[in-house]
Copies of this chain bind each other. A is one copy, B any other.
Amino acid sequence: MSRLVMKFGGTSVATVERIHNVARHVKREVEAGHQVAVVVSAMSGKTNELVAWCKEAAPLHDMREYDAVVASGEQVTAGLLAIALQKIGISARSWQGWQIPVLTDDAHGAARIQDIEAKGILGGFTRGEVAVVAGFQGIHAPTGRITTLGRGGSDTSAVALAAAIGADRCDIYTDVDGVYTTDPRVVPKARRMEKVAFEEMLEMASLGAKVLQVRSVEVALVHDVPTYVRSSFDDPENPRSGTLICKEEDILEAQVVTGIAFSRDEAQITLRRVADKPGVAAAVFMPLAEAGINVDMIVQTVSEDNMTDMTFTVGAADYDRARALLEQGKNGVGFASISGARDVAKVSAIGVGMRSHAGVAAQGFRALADKGINIRAITTSEIKFSVLIDAAYTELAVRTLHTLYGLDAG
């Protein structure tokens, strides 16, 4: 008998009617002979409502209390789905994070799963019982307080649970039917991938593709959990295919470039005439790191007269804070001026095939230049390259690369 984790997000459980539909998906898998654990998010909109209440209670609030408040959303859905399953003759019970327990650290609001004790759920399986698990939540055992994993954490709950119970697969049901070569709203010729490697999906998720939370892909990679992205809006009795995220070696016909990702949530900061001496990078970036601001692309011009220009990107939400911190430290660091731009975008091409193919990135730079797109900064890794461009050119750049690398649907 095989074991399966099924995960349903907020839009899939937005109403009781949709929860009934989810129950039919679960029934199909139970009748196919699987032992099933279902992980659910809060009903769409509920988490936002709860977060807004916390902010209204106090803009800066105790994250332990925030966790107690927002974890209630998944609690409701888990109970309702258990009821809906029982109604159609499927034995089921709900499990809160603290009941399983899903043990986490105490980083309230963004806790990390340390261990999942699967005994109770496995016991239920032997009684033919579906486990309906409240996603996104756990417990910090030493204090006994409820924790949450941060936005999108239910994906991580699902993959970690799949690892803990030794599931053969983790099915992530979303409002799309799989992972696409790029966003179909931008490139109508985008194709659904049959399979994508963990490493590629990790880059895509990091670089702006919103179909899965980054941490869930990390967990899937580390524990080798085949993860299947598919649509919850399919006919439960006759679902379509999705995209399987799996090991590289399980993909036969690998392409050089698999997908194009993009993000408009970027902002660029440039420091002019920074003294080019040891320790200056630390002086610039340490204060940002201490304030929890992630710095992404960093470009430094070649030094003249021991002075250099330094360009880097931060998340758009951190832009004002980052500029203020840099202005504060201006005398310590020593630079002539600071400038920045919010209307920038990062466009990335990803593919494990890049490892073995030289010149893939250079081809891309050339194609963008041919379209008159100015590249402000570049970063590369073994399996992707990213360019920072003016936001106005985002769609053009994505389409250009999508066509260049042969990703357009036939």
Contact = CB atoms under 8 A, between A and B. Distances in A.
Interface of A: 16-17, 19-20, 50, 53-54, 56-58, 61-62, 64-69, 71-73, 75-76, 78-84, 86-87, 93-94, 96, 98-99, 144-146
A65 B83 contact: yes
Contacts of A145: 99
14 contacts: A19-B57, A53-B80, A57-B81, A57-B87, A58-B83, A62-B86, A65-B79, A65-B80, A65-B93, A66-B79, A66-B83, A68-B82, A68-B94, A69-B79
B62 A83 contact: yes
Please indicate which of the listed interface residues A50, A78, A79, A99 has the most CB atoms of chain B within 10 Å of its own CB: A79
Contacts of A83: 54, 57-58, 61-62, 65-66, 69
A172 to B, nearest CB: 23
Contacts of A17: 56
Given A53-B76, A65-B93, A66-B79, 4 more contacts: A65-B82, A65-B94, A69-B83, A72-B72
Nearest to A68: B79
Copies held by the complex: 2
Contacts of A53: 16, 76, 80
Contacts of A67: 79
A230 to B, nearest CB: 24
A68 B78 CA distance: 8
B66 A84 contact: no
A75 B145 CA distance: 12
A76 B69 contact: yes
B84 A75 contact: no
B86 A58 contact: yes
A395 to B, nearest CB: 41
A134 B20 CA distance: 30
A99 B64 CA distance: 13
Contacts of A78: 68
Contacts of A80: 53-54, 57, 65, 69
Contacts of A96: 68, 146
A401 to B, nearest CB: 46
Contacts of A82: 62, 65, 68
A97 to B, nearest CB: 12
A75 B97 CA distance: 14
A224 B16 CA distance: 45
A62 B93 CA distance: 9
A8 to B, nearest CB: 15
Contacts of A58: 83-84, 86-87
A73 B50 CA distance: 11
A64 B94 CA distance: 9
A17 B73 CA distance: 21
A72 B73 CA distance: 8
A56 B16 contact: yes
A239 to B, nearest CB: 22
A131 to B, nearest CB: 13
